[in-house]
Amino acid sequence: MADTNPITQFEIHEVAPLEVAGLNLAFTNSAFFMVLATVSVTLLMALATNKRALVPGRGQSVAEILYGFVADMVRSSAGNEGLRFFPFVFTLFIFILAGNMFGMFPYLPLPIHGVDNHGFTITSHIIVTLTLSMLVMAIVVGFGVYKNGFNFLKLFVPAGVPPVLYIIVTPIEVISFLSRPISLSVRLFANMLAGHILLKVFAGFIVMLIATESAMGLVGILPFFMVVGLTALEFLVAFLQAYVFAILTCIYLNDALHPAH
């Protein structure tokens, strides 16, 4: 039963133990997949753009499509001023996308001690997504105060509201602002966690049916097709959640650029 427990896939193992002054700073399989995501994206973008052909080849087309996609997203939700944050949003989007996608490997036998023989979704741990969303909020607040000074507080006092209503509207705006990092991180984390648990639960059905060692094992073909379909859906979710994270970042940055709505 231990093998079919859908939660074991999220376990963190130490690859290279390291302890500094009582702090456990071990290099884990989570860190390994973060490095893998960063290195592969860097290699892809560096190799794809080193020729800089006027008529792009296959690799360059991928890089240009990604660039154009994110640039359009930033421009449409944060305006041309928002383009100064393009490198940040692009990095965030690509990192989350690569992290989600490397988690989609059902079987990935890497000869490294401590790394399981399947992909590990770094974004299925709330500490990773919360760190990313706190970084976003720190930049929104930091840049908003730097650019607008006290006018940044106009974010909590929307224009065009009868003054009496500020008693209600301002606390609501403050609460909604404070819950942003939580909803931003929990959305990504819970989507990836729930999706991968779902895949493993259905995969567990196949194992259990075959383990009966009777004609019931043939029924296992049904959850198998279900898993294939769900995997396709999970690829869509992996992309969509990276997109949602990036577009919400753009919208929050827009607040920092134009706090008075």
Partner 1 sequence: MEQGLIDLGKYIGAGLACLGMLGAAMGVGNIFGSFLQGAMRNPAAAQQQFGTLIFGFAVTEALGIFSLLIALLLLFVV
What is the Cα–Cα distance from 55 to 197, expressed in whole angstroms? Answer: 44
| Site mask for partner 1 (CB under 8 A), range 3-42, x = bound | ---xx-----------------------------------
Q: Quick one: which segment of 19-27, 107-115, 116-124, 236-244 binds partner 1 (CB under 8 A)?
A: 236-244
Q: At what angle do helices 86-102 and 29-49 cross, to 10 degrees?
A: 120
Question: Nearer to partner 1 by C-beta: 98 or 196?
Answer: 196
Question: Nearer to partner 1 by C-beta: 183 or 214?
Answer: 183
Judge whether 126 and 105 are in contact, CB under 8 Å: no
What is the Cα–Cα distance from 230 to 250, expressed in whole angstroms? Answer: 30
Conformation bin of residue 213: beta by default, left when phi > 0, alpha when psi is -120 to 50? left
Q: Among residue numbers 136 through 195, which ones bind partner 1 (CB under 8 A)?
A: 183, 186-187, 190-191, 193-194
Question: Nearer to partner 1 by C-beta: 104 or 246?
Answer: 246
Kindly calculate the radius of gyration of the chain based on its CA atoms and give it in whole angstroms: 22
What is the Cα–Cα distance from 92 to 70, expressed in whole angstroms? Answer: 10
Question: Nearer to partner 1 by C-beta: 98 or 248?
Answer: 248
| Site mask for partner 1 (CB under 8 A), range 57-86, x = bound | ----------------x--xx---------
How far apart are CB 213 and partner 1 at their closest, in Å? 28
Q: Quick one: which segment of 17-25, 39-47, 223-231, 243-251 binds partner 1 (CB under 8 A)?
A: 243-251
Helix (H) or strand (E) holding 128: helix 126-148
What is the Cα–Cα distance from 255 to 39, expressed in whole angstroms? Answer: 32
- The length of the chain in residues reads 261
Number of chain positions touching partner 1 (CB under 8 A): 19
How far apart are CB 79 and partner 1 at their closest, in Å? 13
What is the Cα–Cα distance from 233 to 210, expressed in whole angstroms? Answer: 25
List residues near partner 1 by CB under 8 A.
Answer: 6-7, 73, 76-77, 183, 186-187, 190-191, 193-194, 197, 240, 243-244, 247-248, 251
